[in-house]
Amino acid sequence: MNRSCRYLLIIAAALAAPMTPAAVPANAAAELAAIAARQRGEKKLFTDSEIVEGFMKTAFGAEYHLAGRVDRIRKYEVPVRVFADGRADRKAQIAKIVADIAARVKNLDIAMVEKNDDANVLVKMVRDRDLFRTISTFYGGERAKEIKTSLDPQCLSGFRKNEKFEIEHSDVILTVDNGDFVFLDCAYEELLQSLGPINDTATVPWTMFNDNVSMGYFDVYDQYLLNLLYHPSIKAGMTVQEVRDVLPAVLMDVRSWVKQVNHLPEE
């Protein structure tokens, strides 16, 4: 895959604890029950400062980057079209995830397409044993070794942007044979990070963009972050201060939407 030198390629990885037989649920029903349990215990009410902190920490910077820190907003400014390449059952799950994201992020136009040529997001699904080889195919052998050493990922995503910090293309690589929970957890995180909030943080306990947090679904807190990022007032290329200047008004609008779509009570 050709990478023009004028693009900054940014990689985000979902790190997973080592998998042992005892740690892997016995069947898919148990794994999905684990997601349901997380949803029942999910924190859904947040202060303005809690939401803003998470947004600023994930929308700026990057967990792994090739050309220095970038304190600019990065996002798609065009419709996002996703092509999934891999097992039919996993492709069906990706389609449901994309539909879920589309329903919960108000100003994001995202949908599946049938052909890779029509997509600006490629989801490549592989067996776990083929992950390193696939990363090497996408990024070259030396870069793949660096990624493995730095992140040791079970899944990862990356994007390229133009000089205006508009994302032009994203790649998501997922493993398909580590169970439903790992697949769903990785798919949600990597698809969402491929849209712009690329920086993982260990200091925000409610976001899936924290390597110590596993969700398996699109939680309310991260809905706030993605709705902020894709609000029309937040533009690709904006600086930290430019974002802070518009956040109070944007957050009011986003709060109303997230409350409506999740049927949240009045605070």
Give the pLDDT band (50/70/90) at residue 80. very high
Neighbouring-strand partners of residue 111: 81
The model's pTM is 0.84
Q: Compute the Cα dihedral for 96, 25, 197, 151 and give only its sign.
A: negative
Joined together, the tokens standing for residue 106 give: 């108000």
CB 185 within 8 A of CB 214: yes
pLDDT value of residue 267: 64
CB 221 within 8 A of CB 55: no
Lowest mean pLDDT among 16-25, 35-44, 104-113, 149-158: 16-25
Instruction: With a cut of 50, say whether residue 200 has pLDDT above it.
Output: yes
Instruction: With a cut of 60, say whether residue 2 has pLDDT above it.
Output: no
CB 8 within 8 A of CB 164: no
Q: Which among 52, 45, 47, 112 has a CA at the least distance from the CA of 83? A: 112
pLDDT value of residue 120: 97
Query: Higher confidence at residue 101 or residue 62?
Result: 101
pLDDT value of residue 4: 30
**What confidence tens digit (pLDDT) does each residue in 252-264 have?**
999 999 999 999 9
pLDDT value of residue 151: 56
Q: What Cα–Cα distance (Å) separates residue 171 from each residue in 86, 112, 146? A: 14, 14, 18
Joined together, the tokens standing for residue 139 give: 């990024």
Joined together, the tokens standing for residue 145 give: 């070794």
Which of 3.40.50.300, 3.40.390.10, 3.40.50.10420, 2.70.98.10 is the CATH number of 9-262?
3.40.390.10
Give the pLDDT band (50/70/90) at residue 52. very high
CB 186 within 8 A of CB 194: no
Q: Count other C-beta atoms under 10 Å from residue 145's C-beta.
A: 14
